[in-house]
Amino acid sequence: MILNTGARTDTVQFFTPWLLKRFAEGFVLVRNPLFPNKVTRYELTPDKIDCIIFCSKNYRPILPHLHEITSRFNTFFHYTITAYGPDIEPLVPSIDESIATLLELEKLVGAERLCWRYDPVLLTKKYTIKAHRETFEYMAGRLAGHVSRVIFSFVEMYKKLENNMPELYPMSDSEMDTLAQILGQIAARHKLHIQTCGTNGDFSRYGIQKSGCLTLEMLGRANGLSFRDIKHRGTRSGCHCIESRDISAYNTCLNGCKYCYATKDHQKARENYKLHNPDSPLILGHLEPGDIVTKGNQKSFIKISPRGAESTMELAL
């Protein structure tokens, strides 16, 4: 099973003590976002987890303790650093602060396990094509050689976003093409592997690969693992990622990013955060009367060698 720690919230930035305790105790409970009384239990042990995926905009809180997880599990890290400031990402550290933290993270986990996410790419009066060119050039120069790749996507114009960001410019196909060409050229100049995520456009003419941001090939190469040939179903149209199980929750992130798909109401997120207890096996609240707890399906994707069923860590060595 591939475990995702934060596709629904920035677990690392705001819930690190809880996350560390879950791994220390060896299990976690996850409430179904569609059917709240249904709760799934996952065992957080190396024999049950093929690889742990992290995705955050600030790894600073977990750096001193990360070895508690990386010493036992296979891991892969997405670090999102965009061109935007507090007007769009209120509680996200500055670009230079984020780069400094990423470089510290690389020393702990290695560049092969670390990718830089430059997404979503959007346009406003302030964040123009010229601004993206200048910022991406600067960031690529700082991060090349310290990450395995850079992944970008264009913002999706859903209704909530139109309400939250009236300053947002709807992007034309021509503007997307221009931006893709710029990003591709800069990445090539810095010998930085670049790919899209969840974007249906084909920009291969600019050296941009079309792939999932979470594939077994990526995880296997980063951790020295061999996986079975399994279809990557993705999570939405244009997605080429492998199936994973997320242990976080929607409407809990305090970063306040205007474009966020996982937090529909930032006030609600602040209210929900008050329900968080680091000692609870659930990221929010506790088990309630009437909750139905079931054991999660934790089937391994790892290809077993002729010697037998080794642990994931034995396979990774």
How confident is the model over 67-85, as pLDDT tens digits? Answer: 999 999 999 999 999 999 9
- CB count, 10 Å around CB of 185? 15
Look at residue 238 and tell me whether its pLDDT is greater than 80: no
Look at residue 309 and tell me whether its pLDDT is greater than 60: no
What is the structure's pLDDT at 200? Answer: 65
Q: Span 216-224, mean pLDDT?
A: 93
What is the structure's pLDDT at 33? Answer: 93
CA dist., res. 67 & res. 315, Å (int) = 19
What is the structure's pLDDT at 230? Answer: 81
What is the structure's pLDDT at 279? Answer: 98
> What are the residues whose beta carbons fall under 8 Å from the beta carbon of 134, sequence distance 6 or more?
none
What is the structure's pLDDT at 233? Answer: 67
What is the strand order of the sheet 75-80 is part of? Answer: 209-210, 194-196, 150-154, 114-121, 75-80, 51-56, 2-4, 245-246
Query: Closest by alpha carbon to 155, among 138, 179, 134?
Result: 179
Look at the block and give the residue holding tokens 């305790």. 21
CA dist., res. 317 & res. 315, Å (int) = 6
CB 74 within 8 A of CB 223: yes
Q: Span 19-45, mean pLDDT?
A: 97
Q: What angle do CA 121, 94, 257 make, to 5 degrees?
A: 50
> Rounded to 5 degrees, what are φ and ψ at 309?
-90, 80
Question: pLDDT grade, residue 175 (50/70/90)?
Answer: very high
What is the structure's pLDDT at 199? Answer: 63
* Average per-residue pLDDT for the chain: 92
What pTM did the predictor assign? 0.92
Return the H-helix or E-strand segment holding 129.
helix 129-143
Query: Closest by alpha carbon to 265, among 11, 119, 278, 273?
Result: 273
What is the structure's pLDDT at 24? Answer: 97
CA dist., res. 49 & res. 38, Å (int) = 22
Look at residue 274 and tell me whether its pLDDT is greater than 70: yes
Look at residue 314 and tell me whether its pLDDT is greater than 80: no
Q: Count of domains in the chain?
A: 1
Query: Closest by alpha carbon to 75, among 214, 215, 222?
Result: 222
CB 132 within 8 A of CB 83: yes
CA dist., res. 167 & res. 271, Å (int) = 27
What is the structure's pLDDT at 305? Answer: 54
**CA–CA distances in Å: residue 129 to residues 120, 144, 166, 297:** 14, 21, 18, 45
Q: Cis (ω within 30 of 0) for the bond into 120?
A: yes
Range of the domain at 217: 2-316
What is the structure's pLDDT at 26? Answer: 98
